[in-house]
């Protein structure tokens, strides 16, 4: 399903997060300053005019929750949302990095000026990530699942799914549960890979509808009839207990790289910025083993995901680096290092133009759409 089509899906039941609200907040100096004053005063428990690490903890946690995404440690599946769409690393790493940004790696207190500067940088980074890869929060209440069950597409799609299930000794319950795991968001089903969805939606309805039935072998006709019954029951359960799903999707087709390579000024500026992070020997040379580090730094400018976030993209990088002998670890001068980086980008662009990489992520949000976070909801926000 195309992104624009998904955003239209139950538009009254969804929320598109594209970073525009964050940009609007940070871009209005008067409102943002008022916002910082309010937030700083709220966090400064001991009223000494500075924030300790302990006092900063709620702000760090709120940054994640303000995105409408799962809080720290809520589920392994949510790591992918943070790493691929918004920031780098796991949720735990994300929170640690944000706290380190505030304290500059030292266990010291933070002034209001420092708080404002760092918070602005973090929020703008979030906004840029969300603008590049919007997240759609869908409230799944069973209506789309019921619509799918009643549609002409239900039978042919479930027959196709049944043929893919390899459960030679599986019971009817096994077939039904496995089928739920393969249903997608556009068929109206939140990801059954989420433990909450499995234990609170799938397993209860299967148990109530199938009971002790243990028919073997499971025929196609039995599977269709029983799955339809269970799916209708699941739709009713979702109506009683709606599930919020954060959906994101992206296609890497090389267009971002092409834009960067076609603008020499922007390319040179991006390469210079990336090379600042690379260590050099006493002769000013750099090891080619740091090419991937530099590539990771410039990834956002080239419309690429962080290294390690998308397996298919990592394979593209690996193939290109092997082709260009970029992994031999040799020491090279700065200009050669830049040339290699540019060649890697060019080769990746050609590969992605010929064979684009599409990724889709669905993660259950264990928070209501009206998030409890107050990070982006100071009293002054109505003045914007």
Q: Is the pLDDT of residue 337 over 70?
A: yes
Interval 56-78: pLDDT, tens: 767 666 665 554 444 444 444 44
Interval 147-203: pLDDT, tens: 999 999 999 999 999 999 888 788 888 899 999 999 988 899 999 988 889 999 999
pLDDT of residue 18: 77
Better-scored residue on pLDDT, 216 or 9: 216
- Whether residue 208 contacts residue 155, with contact meaning beta carbons closer than 8 Å, is answered with no
- Whether residue 341 contacts residue 291, with contact meaning beta carbons closer than 8 Å, is answered with yes
Q: Is the pLDDT of residue 88 over 60?
A: no
Give CA separation, 71 vs 32, 68, 101, 343, in Å: 24, 9, 19, 40
Q: Range with the lowest mean pLDDT among 83-97, 145-159, 318-332, 338-352?
A: 83-97
Closest listed residue to residue 298, CA positions, set 237, 249, 348, 251: 348
Give CA separation, 171 vs 117, 166, 167, 174, 304, in Å: 59, 12, 8, 5, 44
pLDDT of residue 263: 94
User: How far apart (Å, rounded) are the C-alpha atoms in residues 362 and 78?
Assistant: 9
Interval 235-247: pLDDT, tens: 999 999 998 888 8
Interval 224-234: pLDDT, tens: 999 999 999 99
Interval 91-137: pLDDT, tens: 333 445 555 656 555 556 778 888 888 778 777 777 777 777 777 88
Q: Is the pLDDT of residue 378 over 50?
A: no
Closest listed residue to residue 84, CA positions, set 357, 367, 366, 370: 357
Q: Span 25-35, mean pLDDT? A: 86
In the 8-state DSSP scheme, what is residue 187? G
- Whether residue 51 contacts residue 163, with contact meaning beta carbons closer than 8 Å, is answered with no
pLDDT of residue 114: 83
pLDDT of residue 193: 87
Q: Is the pLDDT of residue 384 over 70?
A: no
Interval 5-23: pLDDT, tens: 444 444 345 677 777 877 8
pLDDT of residue 339: 94
Interval 278-309: pLDDT, tens: 899 999 999 999 999 899 888 888 988 888 87
How many residues can be counted in the chain? 384
pLDDT of residue 90: 34
Q: Is the pLDDT of residue 358 over 60?
A: yes
Q: Is the pLDDT of residue 341 over 60?
A: yes
What angle (nearest 5°) sits at the alpha carbon of residue 70, between those of residues 362 and 87? 80
pLDDT of residue 80: 41
Q: Range with the lowest mean pLDDT among 27-41, 52-66, 261-275?
A: 52-66
Closest listed residue to residue 234, CA positions, set 326, 145, 331, 132: 145
- Whether residue 201 contacts residue 234, with contact meaning beta carbons closer than 8 Å, is answered with yes
In the 8-state DSSP scheme, what is residue 46? T
Q: Span 345-351, mean pLDDT? A: 95
Q: Is the pLDDT of residue 379 over 50?
A: no
At 268, the pLDDT band (50, 70, 90 cuts) reads very high
What angle (nearest 5°) sits at the alpha carbon of residue 254, between those of residues 252 and 257? 120
pLDDT of residue 252: 92
């Amino acid at each position: 399903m195309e992104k624009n089509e998904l955003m239209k899906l139950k538009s009254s039941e969804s929320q598109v997060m594209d970073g525009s609200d964050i940009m609007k907040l940070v871009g209005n100096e008067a409102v943002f300053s008022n916002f910082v004053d309010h937030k700083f005063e709220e966090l400064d428990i001991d009223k000494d005019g500075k924030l300790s690490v302990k006092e900063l903890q709620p702000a760090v946690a709120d940054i994640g929750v303000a995105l409408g995404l799962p809080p720290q440690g809520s589920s392994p599946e949510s790591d992918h949302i943070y790493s691929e769409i918004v920031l780098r690393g796991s949720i735990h790493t994300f929170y640690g990095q944000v706290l380190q940004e505030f304290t500059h790696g030292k266990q010291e207190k933070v002034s209001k000026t420092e708080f404002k500067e760092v918070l602005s940088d973090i929020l703008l980074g979030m906004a840029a990530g969300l603008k590049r890869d919007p997240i759609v929060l869908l409230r799944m209440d069973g209506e789309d699942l019921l619509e799918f069950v009643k549609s002409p597409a239900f039978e042919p799609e479930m027959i196709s799914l049944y043929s893919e299930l390899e459960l030679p000794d599986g019971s009817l319950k096994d077939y039904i549960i496995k089928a739920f795991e393969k249903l997608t968001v556009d068929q109206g089903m939140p990801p059954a890979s989420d433990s909450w969805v499995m234990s609170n939606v799938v397993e209860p309805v299967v148990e109530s509808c199938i009971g002790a039935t243990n028919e073997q072998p499971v025929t196609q006709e039995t599977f269709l009839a029983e799955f339809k019954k269970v799916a209708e029951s699941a739709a009713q359960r979702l109506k009683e207990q709606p599930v919020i799903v954060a959906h994101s999707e992206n296609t890497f087709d090389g267009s971002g790289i092409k834009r960067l390579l076609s603008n020499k000024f922007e390319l040179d500026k991006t390469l210079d910025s990336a090379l600042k992070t690379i260590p050099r020997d006493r002769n000013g040379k750099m090891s080619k083993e740091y090419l991937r580090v530099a590539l990771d730094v410039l990834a956002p400018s080239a419309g690429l995901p962080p290294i390690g976030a998308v397996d298919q993209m990592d394979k593209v990088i690996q193939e290109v680096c092997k082709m260009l002998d970029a992994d031999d670890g040799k020491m090279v001068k700065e200009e050669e290092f830049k040339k290699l980086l540019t060649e890697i980008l060019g080769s990746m662009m050609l590969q992605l133009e010929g064979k684009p990489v599409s990724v889709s992520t669905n993660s259950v949000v264990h928070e209501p759409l009206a998030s409890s976070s107050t990070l982006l909801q100071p009293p002054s926000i109505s003045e914007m």
